[in-house]
Amino acid sequence: MITLFGSGPNFGLPDASPFVTKAETLLRMSKLPFEKAPMRFSKAPKGKIPYIDDDGELLGDSTLIRWHLEKKYKVDFDQGLTSEQRAIAWAFEKMVEDNLYWAMVHARWMDDANFQRGPREFFKAAPAIIRPLVVAIVRRKVKKSLHGHGMGRHSATEIAELGSRSLQAIADYLGSKPFFMGNEPTGADATIFAFVISSMCPLFESPLQQAAASHDNLRRYVGRMAARFYPELGDIAGCKASA
């Protein structure tokens, strides 16, 4: 049995982390039996989520988890795609993971109002007397990570514009197709879906959220993916699950 470790459903999303949602969607696509469990960073082989325990074998990183499923269980998430399409899918996946993601982190963690609505929830377990100190330390670390990546060196307006450009590219390439690469979902959809719904989450008010929600085809896409892989949730990020 495979166990997927993450932060759990939050903010009206399958998981607070889009990387965990990506891994969960891949597992749902594979139709392999699995269960979810709360994360324990001391057990995480990469020191982050998601990670899985596959019959005692611990693996971290959503992309490495995908490769593991493909190799061990002979799952072809890109069945039917040409080599050119696989290259396009990879490029889009890396765009959202290495660009859009950091714009989302900035919107959630650096905007005080959004931080209060969302990430502050992660600190409830900390003793009240030290909680403000813990919050301040972690937010400084997130800010340092943003700066180290490069995204944090830009103004809030520039960051929103960079993230919005990625969303525009996704919407343009999706066009009127049912799924990102065509008529049936492929591995890229696990990633695109996870990051689009996270960007679209109405809890976090920002230009990035407005940009995501402004694309009607992305909203329909989210609903279509939700209907296929998360029917129990019904409404994700304000997009009602429908075929």
pTM over 0.85: yes
Percent of the chain predicted with pLDDT > 70: 97
Task: Please state which of the ranges 146-150, 206-210, 230-234 shows the lowest mean pLDDT.
Answer: 230-234
In angstroms, the CA 160 to CA 106 distance is: 9
- What pLDDT shows up at residue 206? 96
Structure-block tokens of residue 180: 């990102």
> Each residue of 5-21: pLDDT tens digit?
999 888 989 999 999 99
Mean pLDDT for 58-73 is 97
- What pLDDT shows up at residue 8? 87
Q: Name residue 37's beta-bridge partners.
A: 5
- What pLDDT shows up at residue 237? 65
Q: Which amino acid is at 61?
A: D
- What pLDDT shows up at residue 233? 82
